[in-house]
Amino acid sequence: MASKEYYTRLIKDKAIELGFLYCGISKSEFLEEEAPKLEEWLKKGHHGKMMYMENHFDKRLNPTLLVDNAKSVISLLYNYYPEESLENDKDAPKISKYAYGEDYHIVLKDKLKLFLKDLQNEIGQITGRVFVDSAPVMEKAWAKRSGAGWIGKHTNLINPKMGSFFFLAEMVIDMELDYDGPIKDFCGTCTRCIDACPTEAIVAPYVLDGSKCISYLTIELKDQLLPSEFKGKMDNWAFGCDVCQDVCPWNRFSKKHNEPRFLPNESLMKMSKNDWQDLTEEVFNNLFKISPVKRTKVSGLKRNLEFLNP
């Protein structure tokens, strides 16, 4: 029978072969350090109206409740940093870099299912589940434990060689492996992300009030109207926001992704400010049929666009 070391190497090699930037592995156990932080964050209402964050509290902290007899959490990073500037018209509304191509949930789920199937073919009987931002899994906590990076003052994961423009994904399996450990926090005295946030959503180093975050306001908040207190503070973002990452010095190490499914929609690249203002349901459906932006529905995106107008 092959050793833990052999299987660990096999998994990491397979991850790189499938295009992941990084693969780190942690022992599956209760996240004792994160439990009181999550409880406090929820108590302060920093999740806004994302009521689903209050659900499955135990599952968020304990992967053995998601996969029977879970032994290992495999954390993966997948690059989405684009090659070029994505705004054709500098006055046009902005959307996050990750949203110009195909929905990452679909792209990464496809890769992860293939990954798990390949492992089962090579190793034999493995029980496991794959996760991409769609289940009660504390992705950043597990990625930090696996040595993928540290959680920055903006609460995004930062990798010292690749910055932060990547997606996180996990595989929880019932197999013991060799485990990695966390790395040092290199934020130092830098406060660029805190200083640059248009809505002052980073209320303290390493604490994000999600209810003030532009990404929350433009995507997660389903209210008919956006809160008037944020009028004039949205920095022209119609879907998501990249400000805290754009100003982070570590993102000078970001490199262009090579995922064809993340290439920007050509029609979207040509959208002018007037095109955005005249957005119809038909145009929305054509532009965003396979994009993460479809989450807002046309009514949500139009709400955001109207809020940006003086």
| CA angle at 38 for the pair 146 and 76, rounded to the nearest 5° | 25
Amino acid 55: pLDDT: 85
Amino acid 86: pLDDT: 64
Q: What percent of the chain has pLDDT over 90?
A: 87
| CA pair distance 225, 223, nearest whole angstrom | 5
Q: From its phi and psi, is residue 22 left (phi > 0), alpha (psi between -120 and 50) or beta?
A: beta
Q: Name the average pLDDT for the chain.
A: 94
Q: Is 30 helix (H, G, I), strand (E, B) or coil?
A: coil
Please state at what angle helix 297-308 crosses helix 281-288, rounded to 10 degrees: 110
pLDDT in tens, 142-185: 999 999 999 999 999 999 999 999 999 999 999 999 999 999 99
Q: Are 158 and 210 in contact (CB under 8 A)?
A: no
Tell me the catalytic residues.
Answer: 133
pLDDT of residue 188 exceeding 90, the answer is yes
pLDDT in tens, 86-137: 666 788 999 999 999 999 999 999 999 999 999 999 988 899 999 998 778 9
Amino acid 124: pLDDT: 85
User: Quick one: which of 144, 111, 163 has its CA closest to 37?
Assistant: 144
Q: Are 32 and 129 in contact (CB under 8 A)?
A: no
Work out the end-to-end distance of the chain between its first and last CA atoms, rounded to an integer number of angstroms.
68
Between residues 288 and 266, the one the model is more confident about: 288
Which of the four pLDDT bands, split at 50, 70 and 90, describes residue 24? very high
| CA pair distance 98, 261, nearest whole angstrom | 11
pLDDT of residue 85 exceeding 70, the answer is no
Global pTM reads 0.95
pLDDT of residue 1 exceeding 80, the answer is no
Write down the domain spans for the chain.
4-87+95-173, 192-249+265-308
pLDDT of residue 13 exceeding 80, the answer is yes
Q: 4-87+95-173: which CATH topology?
A: NADH Oxidase (3.40.109)
pLDDT in tens, 233-286: 999 999 999 999 999 999 999 999 999 999 988 888 889 999 999 999 999 999
Q: Is 110 helix (H, G, I), strand (E, B) or coil?
A: helix
Q: Kindly compute the dihedral angle of the four CA atoms of residues 13, 18, 20, 26, in this order, to the nearest 10 degrees.
A: -50
237-239 and 94-95: which strand pairing?
A: parallel
